[in-house]
Chains A and B, each alone.
Chain A
């Protein structure tokens, strides 16, 4: 079964500090994609970063970087220099192809709170 696990229901981080949000996944597919989304209290899902299973280098997008450890099946999100606006729910997601179409499974999320 395809599964995404986020073990941290909530995290606190001091403003300007870095924080790591954990994500592990389980799949037998050789080809898959890993995403992180941010969901503020307003509800919309905002795409942050993507890592393909065959990508050799860890993905980076501005203050976001993905610590991809394929052998461990982990895809942790690192946010550097946290800002107050980073307070939100963060979801890790995995994309795979099933039955000829794309399917994305989400983890349970981590609520991040940035403290001034």
Chain B
């Protein structure tokens, strides 16, 4: 299947700092990228959907100014957690979907980024 990478895989930061997470589709053009958040032993919660070149669509309850999403190219999306606080600590997973990727037009997931805010 298609490959999606995320960087960094793990990040620890101090409260009040901003953290940027990158999501790249390595072998296909991702027309749509999704950002999820997963709490320990919980399901994935969709945070936002972004289409290349346009503003992200955020789910209800997700702060747009807190979680900045940029999908500047067909292979790269970034999630910036601004002024991070301990409650932002979580596992963040991106996924990508492309027109020619996936027999069932399924999403391909990155390996996730574990964010710990001290």
Q: Is A bound to B?
A: yes
Whether A102 touches B95, Cβ cut-off 8 Å, given contacts A33-B104, A35-B106, is no
Proximity string of chain B (38-67) to chain A, C-beta cutoff 8 Å, 1 when within and 0 when not: 000111101001010000010000000000
Does A103 belong to the interface (CB within 8 Å)?
Answer: yes
A50: contacting residue among B42, B51, B93, B106, CB under 8 A: B106
Does B34 belong to the interface (CB within 8 Å)?
Answer: yes
CB <8 Å contact, A42 and B111: yes
**Interface centre among A37, A44, A45, by most B CB within 10 Å?**
A45
The majority secondary structure among interface residues of chain A is: strand
CB <8 Å contact, A104 and B111: no
CB <8 Å contact, B32 and A109: no
CB <8 Å contact, B106 and A44: no
A108: contacting residue among B42, B46, B102, CB under 8 A: B42
B110: contacting residue among A33, A35, A44, A105, CB under 8 A: A44
Residues of B within 8 A of A68 (CB): none
A35 to B102, CA, bound (A): 13
In A23-68, the 8 Å CB interface with B consists of: 33, 35, 37, 42-47, 50, 52
* B-binding residues in A (CB < 8 A): 33, 35, 37, 42-47, 50, 52, 91, 99, 101-109
Would you list 19 pairs from A and B whose C-beta atoms are within 8 A, ordered by A residue? A35-B104, A43-B93, A43-B111, A43-B112, A43-B114, A44-B110, A44-B111, A44-B112, A45-B44, A45-B109, A46-B109, A47-B106, A47-B108, A47-B109, A101-B32, A101-B51, A102-B105, A104-B34, A106-B44
